Amino acid sequence: MENAEKQGKIKNIVLLILPKVQLLDVAGPCDVFTSANLFLPDDKAGLQYQVHLISGTSDKVIYSGSGIPLTCSRTIYDIDFPVDTLLVAGTDLRTLDEVNPDLYTYLQNTIGSVRRLGSVCAGAFILAKAGLLNGKQVTTHWKYADILQRTYPDLEVNINPFFIRDRGIYTSGGVSSGIDLALALLEEDWGRPLASEVAKHLVLHLKRAGVQSQFGNAISDYEMLSPFTKGIRDLLKDKLGQSISIEFMAESVHMSVRNFSRVFLRESGVTPGKFLEKMRLDQAKDMLEYTEMSIEMIAAKCGFGNVVSLRRLFFKYLSISPAQYRKSCKGTG
């Protein structure tokens, strides 16, 4: 990728925002890029970043999710400068239903002229609806990953990384992950030493340890589940330590196993077995975080049978062991 020095001009960074945006989605990347200007050597002064807040609507004043107004310099209708990097900030999912189709047209027309295009948090939904993520591996806030996958089945949604680059398009996870992405873009342009200086200046790790999925539940929030899926979750939540079969689940709703499996996959986006596995993982995480129960006892109470099975599942989803997860939550050995 062409770096900042070779291009020989100011880099215009666009943070595209919508109503109900989370402030950190915008402020985090903004502070990374503007802080980088402080550490550029004098002979590179003409290669600085210029950050622009651009409204995805016709209004220049956008009210954030916390109610604080953000004044944009321009809207998507009057940008009059070349864009180097464009990042779509996240917003409340309900706001997405109110997005003017002009925004998707703008992004589709822009993809060929920007050097880098990406998203922060739920901004991935905007890029997906614009058709710019088709066939790509992407990430978003762990809370919305299942919804993104069900809505756009052509995507490969992976909530473990804090950010992902796939064929020139970048997506990042929940809220603060926009900072991780911005630091990575900075490293691409100027190398690790300068990116490291910026991270230290902002009192951050250049490469954050762990994975995003450590911070969330494997199963979507209860209110985001379909009524059918909620019913199965309610049925299973007090039985996770027992042996549970798909036949048992199907019989509970008076359906054949085949029909139940088909309907459950359609309603939840995962198979019944995978859903059960994720419920057990979430319960184990809660017990590790909020109780002093031994890992062996937690494995038994969550239906894993033994610690080996529990460990395998933690490495599968979180890339760490149950003991490491407990330590990260409690800050103890």
State which H helix or E strand residue 250 sits in.
helix 246-252
Q: In a 10 Å sphere around its CB, with 0-12 CB exposed, 13-18 middle and 19+ buried, how is residue 197 labelled? A: middle
Task: Show the tokens assigned to 236.
Answer: 């299973």
Ramachandran assignment for 17, one of left (phi > 0), alpha (psi -120 to 50 degrees), beta (any other): beta
The catalytic position among 30, 72, 121, 302 is 121
**Residue holding tokens 């992950």?**
177
Rounded Cα distance, 94 and 219, in Å: 20
Farthest-apart Cα atoms in the chain, separation: 74
DSSP state at residue 310: H
Q: Which of 153, 293, 162 is nearest to 216 (CA)?
A: 162
Task: Show the tokens assigned to 96.
Answer: 């997405």
The size of the chain, in residues, is 333
DSSP state at residue 94: G
In the residue annotation, 121 being an active-site residue is answered as yes
Catalytic positions are 121
